[in-house]
């Protein structure tokens, strides 16, 4: 390609780029016009929209209550159900298949089935257990010899699960509940 052809191509590219810029400016001007038209909205309509948003929030909290009830009901049904025996029969040396049982009954216990997939699965790597051992070695040392094993285990549990629960805990309510329990004793 000669120098002249390159300049012509660049000129055409610059011209089309200029057209693109002009089109973008027109689009932004149209968007600005639409934004200004929203200033002319009826205040009563805006108020009704806000009331509707509050009602949606109330429905969401009601649905949270129904979710909690659903979870409790499912857990209660699971606990009340007959347990899966380890062996198929007293004389049979073959074992029942708990994974097959879970798969067969996942429609009866959908929440527990999804939790089982998360918490009962085998880790693909040893990294999570290594992290726990590292945290335990930082927690339990020669300087902290008075920490009993039960408290160390609870501390590690909280440290591991804190991120999962910190947004779900109402701290003021928890402190008030603990204070009330202390006052009752």
pLDDT at 151 > cutoff 50:
yes
pLDDT of residue 14: 45
| Mean of pLDDT values over 159-185 | 72
Percent of all residues in the chain with a pLDDT value above 90, rounded to a whole number: 0
Place of tokens 């798969």: 103
Predicted TM-score of the model (pTM)? 0.36
The 8-class DSSP code of residue 122 comes to P
Radius of gyration (C-alpha) of the chain in whole angstroms: 32
Tell me the average pLDDT across 96-123.
83
pLDDT tens-digit readout, 7-34: 555 455 444 444 444 444 455 545 444 4
In the chain the beta strands, taken as DSSP E runs, fall at none
Which tops the pLDDT comparison, 107 or 51? 107
DSSP 37-90: HGGG--HHHHHHHHHHHHHHHHHHHHHHHHHHHHHHHHHHHHHHSPPPPSBSSS
* 132: CB partners within 8 A, 6+ apart: 156, 160
CA pair distance 13, 8, nearest whole angstrom: 9
pLDDT at 80 over 80: yes
For the residues 23-49, what does the mean pLDDT come to? 55
């Amino acid at each position: 390609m000669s120098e002249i052809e390159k300049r012509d191509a660049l000129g055409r590219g610059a011209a089309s780029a200029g057209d693109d810029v002009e089109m973008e400016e027109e689009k932004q001007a149209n968007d600005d016009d639409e934004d200004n038209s929203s200033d002319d909205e009826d205040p009563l309509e805006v108020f009704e929209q806000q009331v509707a948003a509050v009602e949606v929030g109330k429905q969401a909290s009601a649905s949270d209550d129904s979710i909690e009830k659903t979870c409790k009901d499912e857990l209660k049904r699971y606990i009340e159900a007959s347990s899966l025996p380890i062996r198929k029969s007293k004389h049979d040396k073959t074992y029942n298949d708990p994974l097959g049982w879970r798969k067969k009954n996942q429609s009866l216990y959908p929440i527990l089935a999804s939790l089982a997939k998360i918490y009962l699965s085998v880790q693909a790597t040893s990294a999570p257990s290594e992290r726990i051992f590292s945290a335990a070695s930082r927690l339990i040392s020669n300087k902290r010899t008075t920490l009993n094993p039960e408290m160390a285990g609870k501390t590690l549990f909280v440290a591991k699960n804190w991120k999962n629960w910190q947004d779900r805990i109402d701290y003021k309510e928890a402190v008030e509940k603990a204070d009330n329990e202390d006052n009752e004793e």
